[in-house]
Amino acid sequence: MKKRKIGMALSLVLAAGTLLGACGKSDDTSKKETTKGGDKEKAFSVAMVTDVGGVDDKSFNQSAWEGLQAFGKDNSLTKGKGGFDYLQSKSDADYSTNLNKLAREDFDLVFGIGFLMQAAVEEIAKQQKDAHFAIIDAEVKQPNVASVLFKEQEAAFLAGVAAALQTKSNHIGFIGGMEIPVIERFETGFLAGVKAAKPEAKVDVQYSGAFDKAELGQSIASKMYSSGADVVFHAAGGTGVGLFKEANDLKKKDPSREIWAIGVDSDQANMGPDIVLTSALKRVDNAVKDLSNKAKDGNFPGGEVALYGLHEDGVGLAPINAKADQKDAIDTAVNEWIEKIKSGAVKVPGTRDELKTFSAK
């Protein structure tokens, strides 16, 4: 009997210990989950999908990635899931897949970089209604999508003023990527700037039909320079790399020749210290960082359009090359035009129809 009673007592003690142990484990798990945090404690994560130009296109996508990196640094995030990241698209077939992948990885905000991603962003936004998206350079009318547009024409106008004051041949070139609204804004703004600073100057306009064909950019640039142009501006993404190659090659052959190229989106001075006059800046980095901060603070502008121009520090002009003999005159003129544009005294045309009636007087 005593042995039986002792055995039962031990069983009860062990059972009680097991229950307490189980309760202790449950509490520990709960604490770990609380430590991980709910939405309030979870770090705000953001990611982007590049278009076919790639993240290192030295232009549009690269600028966006720099903005995302800056946001990550400011918020002590690391690259990767739960922090900040990007997926690169090799073809337009990758857009929807990449957007969907990032949304499923629970990034709080996913950017689609570029006009070419408009349809893909709309498609995935409809499927992933609880996710937040943003698209650069296009408008998607969905409640969970913020659309970001720029007044590219204002930056291009300043580039046009610089080109007009620097040209010696009064022959200037413009190389566009695809004929879409965003590039039309670059084109018309540039033509307006040239017209405002030097009405007699001629501007050749040609489109490559692509944003990732450097060889096409070089071919077009070669024809423009050989026909007398001495300043050529590109708004063609990776295709514009060919412009810089051609300008550098020509300058090496004849260092005394007047050869200038104007970059786009980012400051592309590193593409040729002897040939890059300036760059029409499109501060995609500022816009990406600004919108990410708004979303993080609970002010995500879903269903709205955010427009960035000179006044919002969304566009601008990179420093004029110190080797340009008209640098001082260009700097003075550019600053004067910036004030006129910011004050509203001058409205830069953003379409070819608006250009027809544009007057800088």
Number of residues in the chain: 361
pTM of the complete model: 0.81
First to last CA, the chain: 114
Q: How far apart are the C-alpha atoms of 318 and 112, rounded to whole Å?
A: 25
**Between these two residues, 77 and 359, which has the higher pLDDT value?**
77
Q: 35: part of which helix (H) or strand (E)?
A: helix 2-36
The answer to whether residue 26 scores a pLDDT higher than 70 is no
Q: Are 136 and 195 in contact (CB under 8 A)?
A: no
pLDDT band at 41 (very low <50, low <70, confident <90, very high): low
Residue 115 tokens read as 């006009």
The answer to whether residue 359 scores a pLDDT higher than 70 is yes
Q: How far apart are the C-alpha atoms of 109 and 146, rounded to whole Å?
A: 10
Segment 12-19 mean pLDDT: 42
Q: How far apart are the C-alpha atoms of 219 and 349, rounded to whole Å?
A: 29
Q: What is the DSSP string of 67-117?
A: HHHHHHHHTT--BSTTSEEEE--SSTTHHHHHHHHHHHTT-SEEEEESGGG
The amino acid at 162: A
Q: How far apart are the C-alpha atoms of 355 and 350, rounded to whole Å?
A: 7
Domain 46-150+288-293 superfamily per CATH: Response regulator (3.40.50.2300)
Decide whether 46-150+288-293 matches 152-281+326-356 in CATH topology: yes
Of 10-24, 43-57, 171-185, 339-353, the least confident: 10-24
Q: Over the chain, what is the mean pLDDT?
A: 90
The answer to whether residue 354 scores a pLDDT higher than 60 is yes
| Fold of the CATH domain 152-281+326-356 | Rossmann fold (3.40.50)
Q: How far apart are the C-alpha atoms of 323 and 275, rounded to whole Å?
A: 9
Domain parsing of the chain, residue ranges: 46-150+288-293, 152-281+326-356
The amino acid at 293: N
Q: Spell out the residues 6+ positions from residue 55 whose beta carbon is closer than 8 angstroms to its own.
A: 61, 62, 65, 86, 88
The answer to whether residue 346 scores a pLDDT higher than 50 is yes
Residue 189 tokens read as 């703004």
Segment 13-24 mean pLDDT: 41
Residue-wise pLDDT tens digits, 46-70: 999 998 888 987 778 999 999 999 9
Q: Spell out the residues 6+ positions from residue 276 whose beta carbon is closer than 8 angstroms to its own.
A: 244, 260, 261, 262, 263, 268, 269, 321
Classify strands 276-282 and 315-317 as parallel, antiparallel or unpaired: antiparallel
Residue-wise pLDDT tens digits, 89-146: 999 999 999 999 999 999 999 999 998 999 999 999 999 999 999 999 999 999 999 9
Q: How far apart are the C-alpha atoms of 118 and 203, rounded to whole Å?
A: 31
